[in-house]
Structures are given as C-alpha cells and as structure tokens.
A and B are shown apart, each in its own frame.
Chain A
Amino acid sequence: MADNKDRDDVTGIDTTGHEWDGIKELNNPLPRWWLWCFYGTIVWGIAYTIAYPAWPLVNAATSGVLGYSTRAEVAEQIAAVDAQNAEVSARLASADLATLAPDDDAHRYGVAGGASVFLAHCSQCHGSGAAGALGYPNLLDDDWLWGGELDAIEYTVRHGIRNDVDPDARWSEMPAFGEIFEDEEIAATVEYVLSISGQDHDASLAEQGATLFEEQCTACHGDAGEGMRDLGAPRLSDAIWLYGGDREALTETITYSRFGVMPPWGQRLDEAEIKAVTLYLHQLGGGE
C-alpha cells in the first residue's frame, strides 16, 4: 500500500485500514486530552498502590507508604466519638439514676447507649427485644424477681445472679423437693399453685397442697404465694412464669428446682455502661 489513507464512501470518514470480512473500522480519532487523562489514571493507579495498602502478600497486604489502615481509621473515629461523649459519659457514670431528669442529656445518652449495650451483652439470653425466653426473664413486663426499681436493676446488672465470680451476686436456691416430698405431695402442691394462680386445678388435691405449701414454701414465696424480692422468690399468684406455669412445668420445677444464673456485668462493663443499660431497661415498660 502506497497510501494507507482509505476513505469510507458512505460516511466520508477515513478508516483505520483494519478490515475484517469486508467490514472496515472507521477512524473517529479520540481527543488527545482524553489520551492524557487515560495515562493520568494509570499513573494515579500506580501511585495509589504505592501510597495505600494494595498488593496482597502471603500474610498481609503491602502497607503503603502513607501508613493508612481502615482499622486505624475506625479506631480513630471511635476514639473521637468517645472523646466527644466523655463529658456526658462521666456525668452518667457518677449520676444518681433515681434523681436524673429524663430530659437530661445524660439520661438520653444512657437510654440510647444502653440499647447498644443490651444488644451486645444481654440480648443473647434476654432476646433482642428484651422479651426473654423460657428460663430467661422477660424484662418488659411488670413482674420483677429481684426488683424493678433503678437501683435494684443496677445491682442485678452489676453483680449478677447465682454466680461464683462475684461474692455480692444475688443468691437464693430453691430445694429440689423431689428429695423431700413424695410424688403425691408434689402433685398436691402443684394443684395448690395452680389454684392460687387462677388456673384449672383439682380442688381436693389443692386443699392437701395448701398445707404442704404453708409448711414448705411460704418462707420464701409468701403466705399467698406473692413472692419475695429479697430472695428472688417468684410471685406464684400471677400470670407470669419464668419456667412455665402449667402442671407439667410446675411438677418439674418443684421436683428438681431451678437455678438460673446471670454473670456479674460489673466485671465486664464500665460504670457508665452499667448505668446506661439500667436506664434502658427501666424505660422499656416495666420499670418501677
């Protein structure tokens, strides 16, 4: 070819000289600045991989000369938020919850922060909505084993229940009546408990059970089965049951007893977190 300039007849545009099965490629040249932009992106790309973490190696990626890491950035942001909240957090930590006004920033901070603390540390047993589960108390209702006032909740959160770790943990233990009562006596006691909680029951058995209840149970559960918060003894005359309130569940509870455990969060959470989760729990609907 003496002259490689080949013009397409239809469009009047030069071709690149490339041809595939009679199809020719038109040459609509790109603007030169576009080419420079393209080279620019290549230079930028190389510079970027040198400046920032980029190339994967065996154990980690190249760290980049700027020393940037997303993890450090997150840590920095968390530290910044902590610093921002330091004042209100300190105020919450030293506050007397009972007298803290609901429109106080420290109170709002506590409720909002307590929700996060709850989800991170408490929801595994008590559920993300704090509704509990069989054996794990529902924290939304108006029934509290150890008390629903702010200081009672705070104490429970801080020291936990029936654990060996914290000497101040709330503690009580119901005897396993399977070793004390005959089976018939257990059955009679069950009928009596059914009767005081307003459920269907065998009246004559319940009458026998009443005597047994008075002898063995009232010391903790109260004369009328109203419970005793100092001992975490549940109220038996209401509609709320931690381990189930039907005949079968009651028989099992009386025979083998129950032993619910909660860790002492005072050893895991800081002062502000404990107060925050206390405030959060208290405003869920059951607080006293």
Chain B
Amino acid sequence: MTKSPDTPPALYVAREPIFPRRVKGSFRTLKWWIMGVTLAIYYLTPFLRWDRGPNLPDQAVLIDLAGRRFYFFWIEIWPHEFYFVAGLLIMAGLGLFLFTSALGRVWCGYACPQTVWTDLFILVERWIEGDRNARVRLWNADWSARKLRLRVTKWIIWFLIALATGGAWVFYFADAPTLLVDLITLNAPLIAYSTVLILAATTFVFGGFMREQVCNYMCPWPRIQAAMMDNDTLTVAYRHWRGEPRGKHRKAAGAENLGDCIDCMACVNVCPAGIDIRDGQQMECITCALCIDACDEVMEKIGKPRGLIDYLALADEERETAGAVPRPILSHVLRPRTILYTGMWSLIGVALIYALFIRSDIDLTVEPVRNPQFVTLSDGSVRNTYTVRIRNLGAEDKTFRIMLTSDEILRITVETEGPNEGHVIVPANETLAARVYVTARPQDAAAKTESTDLRLWVEDLETDSRAGVATIFNGKG
C-alpha cells in the first residue's frame, strides 16, 4: 500500500474475518466433551431439586437475593457467612494460577465460556454454511437470496442459543420451573425479561461476531497470564527445530535439507484466533490445541512422527535441538511455583471445609445496647440490655432457652411471648432478635464495678446443644 506523505498511517483496523476449518483429533474430542458437560451443567443445574423440608426452597442451587440466602445442595449460606463465597473465589483464583503456571492457558482454551460458546456458534455456522472454503466463498459472494437465507438461518439459531443462555442465567435466582412458566406466559417480572435479553444480546454478539476480539481486546486475563508462565510451563508450541526450514516441494532439489513442516497451513486454517502458531508464543493464542490435531493428522499422512506442534515446555528446546528426549512432563509440572500454588489452594480448601463442619447448629450474636451504657431502676438496681440474635438454620421451628453465666451475681430477664420463662421460639430459616435484660441489685458487686464479664448462652431444648457468647455488663463504676 502506498501512501502520500500527508496521509498519516491508519490507527484503526477492521477485524480480519477468521474461518476455522473443521478438525478431528483427540483434543477436538476432548473439547467436544468439555463443551457438552459444561453447557449441560449450566443449562440444567437450576432444574435440579433438593429437598430441604417444608419451609425452604427445593431448588438445589439457588441464589435467593430477596431472602438473602445462597443454597447449594446441602449447604446454605447466610449473608454473614459470605466468606465462604470469598474463599471459593480465592480458590478459583489460585486454581487458575496453578493451571496457568503448569499448563498455560488451559482455562482459555477449554473452559472459558467465551471459548465454549464461540465453539458452539462456529459449530452452528459450519452446519449451516459449510466448512472453511464454503464459508470463505460465501463471505466473498455478493448478497443473494441464498446468502441471505443461510445468514438469517444461522443468526436465528445463534439467537435461540443466546436466548437460552440468558434464560438459564435467571433461573439461578428464582424457582426455575415457576419462572419458566412465568417467562413463557409473559407473567415474569420485567427485570427477568431485561436480564434475559441483555445476556442474549451479549452472547449473540460475543459468540457470533466478536469472538477472538473479546480475548484480544476486552479480557484482561490473557495479559495477566504472561506473568504466570515460564519456560517450564507446558503450552501449545511449534517444534521449529524440527520443522524448519519449512517447504512444500519435497521433490525439488535441496529438499533433503528441509524440516518436517510442509507448510500446508493446516494449523493456521483451523485456528479460531486466526494466528500462525509457528510464529512462536503469541498473546492471541488461547491454546485450544486444535492446531495440534490438525498437524498430527498431516504428519500421519506424510509418514512423519506426530507432535510437530505439541504441548511442550520451551525449556526443552535446547535438549531437543541436540537430539535428546524432552524431560518428563512431571519434572516440568512439579516445580516450586506450582507446589506453592497447590499448597495455598489446598490450605484454603481445607480451612473452608473445616469452617463448614464446625459451623454450629445454633448461630447467635449478642449485641449489647450501649446507648445508654446502663439504666438505673427505682430501687437502685443497674440494668443492661442486650439484643440476642438467634438464627435457626434448620427447616423446623425451634425453641431455645437463654441463660447467663458470670462470676458475679446477675439476674437475667428475657422478654418473651412464650409460656415459659426464658424460652424463645425461632421460626424455621429465620433470625429472631430477643431483648435480654441483665440486672444487678444495688448491693451486688456488678452494680458498682465498671465492667463485669459474663457469657450469654443459648440452648436448643430438643438437642441440648448450646452456644455461648462472651460479653460485658456495665455498672456504675
């Protein structure tokens, strides 16, 4: 392209269309399986049922925003236990670090929703419009009835998938079967429809049109990952020491000096990122491994060993160039950095499981009323007030007794509606705030000392299990 001296260089470029060719092979098969399983999990999970008793929802996975509960099978998380979710997110982060340092961008190549849905959309595209060559021809063809028909059919199917994707998302936040009926009968709330449509629109645009642009320009993760990879990371790479110099004309003079690469462009044609893996490590490469399948197919045809493009550690380049076998995979994977990530990941996992198991059936907090510090009664007694919040995590109503222990003489009065002194009934899946008064008579030490330690206890009358919280009684000092 020639430019006049006055023309500045173009600062913007249009997207280069990419037409990935169909490929067969072990990685492609693995990816089909992963796609099937992850999509099935995403679409079907909201419809799984889990019986929790009469007063709780029976949806296995439910984020109940209005009721401020998160249900996951047998686990129920209340807002004050959100650290479980934070812990899971930290584990997810560390897991990502671990996999990236050991196996490069496996998340991007196999499990990222952008990759999975793009793969699904390309599958539909190939089914409607044909494989790479047919699609290139269609792209270059002028608009005709046939082109319009193929395009519109493809877009409609894409949009239906997108609609189901956005639709599945909202089912995680409400009872799925009920919401499904409401959505169809136009009785669902506006927010459900707008969420479905917004997510359908992003799925449609990202999976159908943006594709690798999302990874290259919108996602921060490809840029961060470079910091987690090193020469021992197993990643998709081209054995240039074996392939170069590449050449097509095997029978030409001097062909005996050529490497194994016959420059058939199979690896480039299957690449959903539109790059040439033979150029080396690139930011755009999501390590989907389809070029490995494509190249292996060709190598088998021409009778060369597989693995010209392969998962390999760049650290092995020297050994392999010298003709030695690469070091075993384990020696690459097991290194201080991956061991450290695994250790941290397991530590948090064990801590979370531990926290989940020591979680008491009775969950209580004691909030002393400190405005005012204490109240003087007519007879000179000093009274403190406490708000005792008891959470009933179970599905049945429970009766609790509230008691106190202290080294000093203190009396407890519980404001109750029940027939028995000190007994409170906490409804299923609810928190009850009971007002508890603790009084010291004027002659008692606690009335005259500034602060006295005490412990408020809650006892489940059925199971006899108890929980106690230490707090302080304020006296006149």
Q: A residues engaging B (CB < 8 A)?
A: 1-5, 14-17, 27, 29-35, 102-103, 127-129, 131, 138, 140-143, 198, 235, 238-240, 283, 285
Q: Could you list 18 examples of A-B contacts with CB < 8 Å?
A: A1-B5, A4-B7, A5-B9, A15-B9, A17-B8, A30-B13, A31-B216, A32-B12, A33-B15, A33-B213, A127-B371, A129-B369, A138-B372, A235-B378, A239-B378, A239-B380, A283-B435, A285-B435
Q: How far is the CB of B86 from chain A (nearest CB, A)?
A: 31
Pairwise interchain contact A16-B9, C-beta atoms closer than 8 A: yes
Q: Is the interface of B mostly helix, strand, loop or mixed?
A: loop
**Which residues on the A side are within 8 Å of B66 (C-beta)?**
none
Residues 360-399 of B, flagged 1 when their CB comes within 8 A of A and 0 if not, give 0000000001011001111110010100000000000000
Pairwise interchain contact B5-A31, C-beta atoms closer than 8 A: no
Pairwise interchain contact B11-A16, C-beta atoms closer than 8 A: yes
Pairwise interchain contact B11-A29, C-beta atoms closer than 8 A: yes
Pairwise interchain contact A141-B3, C-beta atoms closer than 8 A: no
Q: How far is the CB of B209 from chain A (nearest CB, A)?
A: 9
Asked whether any CB of chain A lies closer than 8 Å to the CB of B256, the reply is no
Asked whether any CB of chain A lies closer than 8 Å to the CB of B2, the reply is yes
In the bound complex, what is the Cα–Cα distance between A142 and B437 (angstroms)?
13
Q: B residues engaging A (CB < 8 A)?
A: 2-3, 5, 7-15, 210, 213, 216-217, 369, 371-372, 375-380, 383, 385, 415, 417, 435, 437, 442
Pairwise interchain contact B372-A129, C-beta atoms closer than 8 A: yes
Pairwise interchain contact A131-B371, C-beta atoms closer than 8 A: yes
5 A-B pairs with the lowest CB-CB distances in the bound complex, closest first: A129-B371, A131-B372, A239-B380, A238-B378, A29-B13
In the bound complex, what is the Cα–Cα distance between A128 and B370 (angstroms)?
11
Q: How far is the CB of A84 from chain B (nearest CB, A)?
A: 15
Instruction: Specify which of A5, A30, A33, A285 is in contact with B383 (CB 8 Å cutoff).
Output: A285
In the bound complex, what is the Cα–Cα distance between A186 and B11 (angstroms)?
97
Known: A1-B5, A35-B12. A142 touches B213 (CB 8 A): no
Instruction: Specify which of B217, B383, B442 is in contact with A34 (CB 8 Å cutoff).
Output: B217
Kindly list 8 other residue pairs between chains A and B, CB separation below 8 angstroms, not including A4-B5, A31-B217, A141-B378: A4-B7, A5-B3, A15-B9, A29-B11, A29-B12, A31-B15, A239-B379, A283-B435
Pairwise interchain contact B437-A103, C-beta atoms closer than 8 A: no
Pairwise interchain contact B8-A285, C-beta atoms closer than 8 A: no
In the bound complex, what is the Cα–Cα distance between A285 and B377 (angstroms)?
10
Q: How far is the CB of B322 from chain A (nearest CB, A)?
A: 29
In the bound complex, what is the Cα–Cα distance between A141 and B9 (angstroms)?
83
Q: How far is the CB of A173 from chain B (nearest CB, A)?
A: 24
**Which residues on the A side are within 8 Å of B383 (C-beta)?**
141, 285
Pairwise interchain contact A27-B9, C-beta atoms closer than 8 A: yes
- B3's nearest neighbour on chain A, judged by CB, is A4
Instruction: Specify which of A1, A14, A33, A141 is in contact with B377 (CB 8 Å cutoff).
Output: A141
**Which residues on the B side are within 8 Å of A129 (C-beta)?**
369, 371-372
Pairwise interchain contact A32-B375, C-beta atoms closer than 8 A: no
In the bound complex, what is the Cα–Cα distance between A35 and B14 (angstroms)?
10
Q: How far is the CB of A264 from chain B (nearest CB, A)?
A: 27
Q: How far is the CB of A44 from chain B (nearest CB, A)?
A: 16
**Which residues on the A side are within 8 Å of B11 (C-beta)?**
16, 27, 29-30
In the bound complex, what is the Cα–Cα distance between A275 and B141 (angstroms)?
79
Which residue among A14, A102, A240 has the maximum number of chain B CB atoms within 10 Å of its CB?
Answer: A240
**Which residues on the A side are within 8 Å of B9 (C-beta)?**
4-5, 14-17, 27
**Which residues on the B side are within 8 Å of A102 (C-beta)?**
417
- B4's nearest neighbour on chain A, judged by CB, is A4
In the bound complex, what is the Cα–Cα distance between A85 and B7 (angstroms)?
69
- A239's nearest neighbour on chain B, judged by CB, is B380
Which residue among B369, B377, B379, B417 has the maximum number of chain A CB atoms within 10 Å of its CB?
Answer: B377
In the bound complex, what is the Cα–Cα distance between A3 and B375 (angstroms)?
89
Pairwise interchain contact A285-B379, C-beta atoms closer than 8 A: no
Instruction: Specify which of A30, A140, A285 is in contact with B12 (CB 8 Å cutoff).
Output: A30
**Which residues on the A side are within 8 Å of B13 (C-beta)?**
29-32
Pairwise interchain contact B213-A29, C-beta atoms closer than 8 A: no
- B1's nearest neighbour on chain A, judged by CB, is A5
Instruction: Specify which of B213, B371, B377 is in contact with A128 (CB 8 Å cutoff).
Output: B371
**Which residues on the B side are within 8 Å of A15 (C-beta)?**
9
Q: How far is the CB of B11 from chain A (nearest CB, A)?
A: 6
Q: How far is the CB of B214 from chain A (nearest CB, A)?
A: 11
**Which residues on the B side are within 8 Å of A32 (C-beta)?**
12-15
Which residue among B8, B13, B375, B379 has the maximum number of chain A CB atoms within 10 Å of its CB?
Answer: B375
Pairwise interchain contact B375-A138, C-beta atoms closer than 8 A: yes
**Which residues on the B side are within 8 Å of A16 (C-beta)?**
8-9, 11
Known: A16-B9, A30-B11. A142 touches B377 (CB 8 A): yes
**Which residues on the B side are within 8 Å of A131 (C-beta)?**
371-372, 375
In the bound complex, what is the Cα–Cα distance between A207 and B372 (angstroms)?
37
- B442's nearest neighbour on chain A, judged by CB, is A239
Q: How far is the CB of B421 from chain A (nearest CB, A)?
A: 17
In the bound complex, what is the Cα–Cα distance between A102 and B441 (angstroms)?
29
Q: How far is the CB of B367 from chain A (nearest CB, A)?
A: 13
- B376's nearest neighbour on chain A, judged by CB, is A239
Q: How far is the CB of A282 from chain B (nearest CB, A)?
A: 12
Q: How far is the CB of B226 from chain A (nearest CB, A)?
A: 16
Pairwise interchain contact A239-B10, C-beta atoms closer than 8 A: no
Q: How far is the CB of A136 from chain B (nearest CB, A)?
A: 13
In the bound complex, what is the Cα–Cα distance between A2 and B13 (angstroms)?
23
In the bound complex, what is the Cα–Cα distance between A29 and B242 (angstroms)?
34
Q: How far is the CB of A137 from chain B (nearest CB, A)?
A: 12
In the bound complex, what is the Cα–Cα distance between A142 and B14 (angstroms)?
80
**Which residues on the A side are within 8 Å of B5 (C-beta)?**
1-2, 4
**Which residues on the B side are within 8 Å of A239 (C-beta)?**
376-380, 442
Instruction: Specify which of A27, A103, A140, A235 is in contact with B375 (CB 8 Å cutoff).
Output: A140
Which residue among B210, B217, B369, B372 has the maximum number of chain A CB atoms within 10 Å of its CB?
Answer: B372
Pairwise interchain contact B15-A240, C-beta atoms closer than 8 A: no
In the bound complex, what is the Cα–Cα distance between A238 and B417 (angstroms)?
30
Instruction: Specify which of A5, A27, A30, A238 is in contact with B379 (CB 8 Å cutoff).
Output: A238
Q: How far is the CB of A196 from chain B (nearest CB, A)?
A: 13
In the bound complex, what is the Cα–Cα distance between A14 and B11 (angstroms)?
11
**Which residues on the A side are within 8 Å of B415 (C-beta)?**
283
In the bound complex, what is the Cα–Cα distance between A5 and B9 (angstroms)?
7
In the bound complex, what is the Cα–Cα distance between A1 and B2 (angstroms)?
12
Q: How far is the CB of B114 from chain A (nearest CB, A)?
A: 16
- B416's nearest neighbour on chain A, judged by CB, is A102
- B15's nearest neighbour on chain A, judged by CB, is A31
Q: How far is the CB of A245 from chain B (nearest CB, A)?
A: 11
In the bound complex, what is the Cα–Cα distance between A16 and B10 (angstroms)?
8
Q: How far is the CB of A193 from chain B (nearest CB, A)?
A: 15
Q: How far is the CB of A199 from chain B (nearest CB, A)?
A: 10
In the bound complex, what is the Cα–Cα distance between A29 and B16 (angstroms)?
13
Known: A29-B13, A31-B15, A285-B383. A140 touches B3 (CB 8 A): no
In the bound complex, what is the Cα–Cα distance between A17 and B3 (angstroms)?
13
